[in-house]
Amino acid sequence: MKTHSHSRFVLAGVLLASFNASAVPGLWQQGYGQGNAEYSVTDASGKIFTINCTGNPDQNGIYQHSVFLTLAGDKTVSSHDDGTDITVVMNHQQYGIPSSLGWRNGDNAWYGFIMDIRKASQFEVYVNDRKAGNFSADLKNAAKVLPTPGDCGND
């Protein structure tokens, strides 16, 4: 089940606009608004990868965290989009980003992703099995900025 929420995209757009203004490639940045913490990193070409950790549970009490990828022309794809599969490859392992949380496999996949993204100095993002971005990240910056599973999970 995928969530259709225009407010998430509006919020993401507002937060990403602030990230774009001063984004240094390879350094994670944090933004917060409307109950969402967002963590973004920019690549050298201007693409932006964002982890969205919502503080607003859905009607079932589940926190539907997600990722966004902003491409050229400010086109944004989300792990919540219908027909969109986002996979992150880091440290020679792939992480399929679940389209929703609140089920065992999805929650386990999200937990593994959040645990390991903090340790990745380089990662690739695939959208529907096509490489869409290649990101480098400073590990000391990642350790300071990125959330822990307890800050961006459903436990």
pLDDT for the residue numbered 80: 96
Res. 111 pLDDT band, cuts 50 70 90: very high
Give the Cα separation of 78 and 128 in Å (integer). Answer: 12
- Name which of 51, 58, 54, 75 is nearest 2 in CA terms: 58
Res. 129 pLDDT band, cuts 50 70 90: very high
pLDDT for the residue numbered 149: 84
User: Which pTM was predicted?
Assistant: 0.85
Give the Cα separation of 18 and 12 in Å (integer). Answer: 10
pLDDT tens for 72-94 read: 888 999 999 999 999 999 999 99
